[in-house]
Structure 1
Amino acid sequence: MNAIVSASELAGALAGPQPPVLLDVRWQLSAPSADGTPSFDGRAAYAEGHLPGAVFVDLDRELAGAPGAGGRHPMPGADAFGAAMRRAGVSSGRPVVVYDGGQGWAAARAWWLLRWAGHPDVRVLDGGLPAWEGPLSTAAPAPEEGDLVPRPRAEEVLDADGAAALARSGVLLDARAGERYRGEVEPIDRVGGHIPGAVSAPTTENVGADGRFRPAGELRARFAALGAAGDAPVGVYCGSGVSGAHEILALAVAGIPAALYVGSWSEWSADPTRPVAVGPDPQ
């Protein structure tokens, strides 16, 4: 099954006999305002207009645990995540489509978590809300309680030691901007640079100017050039496990399985005993 869905395909599915559950996961990485609240309010954006029937999901509160030693967006507990998804109406036997404001990172985080939880049919709206040409709604639905019970798939997740090992034995892709990988700038975390052995693979290069994914063949060629081809295991990390989920989604479009280091650079760089590489080369 394709991991993404076009707006026209989604419109057809919504008109069909088993319409998917819609999750609106609008979020963006931004500095907090003076009082400590996020400068972007996804819930407010949702209230101004969303796909009819879509339920808002808060990335910081429902798709991540509390920030701390595990990074800025660590894994949520399986029980807490399952409860959040059931409140949103997610059931194991009903398809799910997730979308965000167009960047795709937040929607990919929800997609990845639902896959990790064992949901068999979840896709991301390619291009997000800007790709949708149908009507929008300001009504907040009251979904029927879902039945999803997470059955975590351990193979989808890397910890710090696993990421370090994969950088030596397989392919570890760094989804952040190149300047952060090289250590030239670091606007968020304690120190700049990358995990030794990781390959720079900015997730922004997986999409075109319209924010939609490049064709699968182009993505396969891109990842092959980065070493992600053949039987070598592949892993991905980013700043805090959000844009890295988008890279996992691009790899899925290309037909390449990969695991996510969820703690990512926010966890790795917080420990001064872990090695840090700088410059354009993996080592």
Structure 2
Amino acid sequence: MNAPHDPPSRLAHLLTPAALAAQARAGALLIEVGCGTHAQYRAEHIPGARYLDTAALEAPPLFNKVPDADLLEVLLALGIRHDSTVLLYGRSTLAAARAAHLMLYAGVADVRLLDGGFAAWQAEGRSAAAGGEPPPRRANGFGAPFPGRPDYLVDMAGARALLARDDAVLASIRTWSEHTGVTSGYSYIRARGDIPGARWGRAGREGDVNSMSDYQDGNGCMLPAAVIETMWREQGIHRGLHTAFYCGTGWRASLAFFYAWVIGWPRISVYDGGWYEWSKALC
């Protein structure tokens, strides 16, 4: 049997402000994703955008994905089906990437992300709206099996299984100080260290778990694919492996996953529990 071809690049799913504006005018669903930032959304947002809080997507104490039935309800309430085109942006691109990954896991085939986030929109002097959300337009059904891509997410048992395989890798999307156990990176995660056997996939500035500066330029836009792939290859992470990205709780891993997805990597996942879940299990 011939080996399957790699999927094509999906770089068109990483949008400029002009592309996002054009696609929103054409009828795509536009959503601002935030974490406790509804007040900022009401003060100023991209015209036509609805608001989605990550609290609807992940739940304490570990901030893992909510149960599938709850995730499905969130999507249907937003009017999202499997065949919807969804445009996401955030004041934090990490929050938007968290939503993007879970929508892809759900089986939404066409998920797009504003490169550089709301700051990129503002930098071009584009108009903004204030006030509440547009009227809801609930979807009657998802229209396809749910979740459509369960392979895009692994639990702790799945992470352990990948560690035992020669054709798989866990990629730690954390700072060097987190990866080497100097700090946990989070005020609410006591344990320091990293998953034995994981490879360092890099992240961003030391001391800032919201930074992905190793992946982005000064404007918060994705670096060229070749730069990112070279960075990963130096750590033994390449597209020939099944790569499961993880971080502390999921946001940075979700952005690394989305970049790998748009580049066209064929076998990728997020280990949702990350270091928080793994370290809790050791206690």
State if a TM-score over 0.5 links the two structures. Answer: yes
**CA distance in 2: counterparts of 1:185 and 1:223, whole angstroms:** 22
- Secondary structure, counterpart of 1:270 in structure 2: helix
Residue 54 of structure 1 pairs with residue 56 of structure 2:
no
- Secondary structure, counterpart of 2:254 in structure 1: helix
Q: How many residues align?
A: 252
**CA distance in 2: counterparts of 1:50 and 1:76, whole angstroms:** 26
Question: 1:201 is matched with which residue?
Answer: 201
| 1:59-138 equivalence runs, <5 A | 59-60=54-55, 62-65=56-59, 67-68=60-61, 71=62, 73-101=63-91, 103-132=92-121, 133=124, 134-138=126-130
Residue 242 of structure 1 pairs with residue 251 of structure 2:
yes
Question: 1:9 is matched with which residue?
Answer: 19
Answer whether contact 1:190 1:270 (CA < 8 A) is retained. Answer: no
- Secondary structure, counterpart of 2:107 in structure 1: coil
Structure 2: stretches of 5+ with no match in the other structure: 1-9, 204-211
**CA distance in 2: counterparts of 1:122 and 1:48, whole angstroms:** 26
Answer whether contact 2:199 2:237 (CA < 8 A) is retained. Answer: no
TM value normalised by structure 1: 0.83
**CA distance in 2: counterparts of 1:211 and 1:5, whole angstroms:** 13
Find 1:145's aligned residue among 123, 138, 148: 138
1:230/1:114 CA distance change after superposition, 3 Å: closer
Question: 1:180 is matched with which residue?
Answer: 178
- Secondary structure, counterpart of 1:13 in structure 2: helix
Answer whether contact 1:220 1:254 (CA < 8 A) is retained. Answer: no
CA deviation map 1:51-108 (0-9, x unaligned): 1111111102x1113x13xx2x11111221111122222233331011111x411111
**CA distance in 1: counterparts of 2:79 and 2:120, whole angstroms:** 24
TM value normalised by structure 2: 0.83
**CA distance in 1: counterparts of 2:176 and 2:57, whole angstroms:** 26
Amino acid paired to 2:199 = V
* Structure with the larger strand share: 2
Greater CA drift, 143-152 or 121-130: 143-152
Amino acid paired to 2:58 = A
**Cα deviation, residue 148, structure 1:** 5.1
Residue 22 of structure 1 pairs with residue 30 of structure 2:
yes
**Cα deviation, residue 230, structure 1:** 4.6
1:167/1:207 CA distance change after superposition, 3 Å: farther
Residue 271 of structure 1 pairs with residue 271 of structure 2:
no
**Cα deviation, residue 265, structure 1:** 1.1
Answer whether contact 1:216 1:254 (CA < 8 A) is retained. Answer: yes
Find 1:225's aligned residue among 234, 244, 248: 234
Amino acid paired to 1:162 = G
Find 2:160's aligned residue among 141, 151, 164: 164
Question: 1:260 is matched with which residue?
Answer: 270
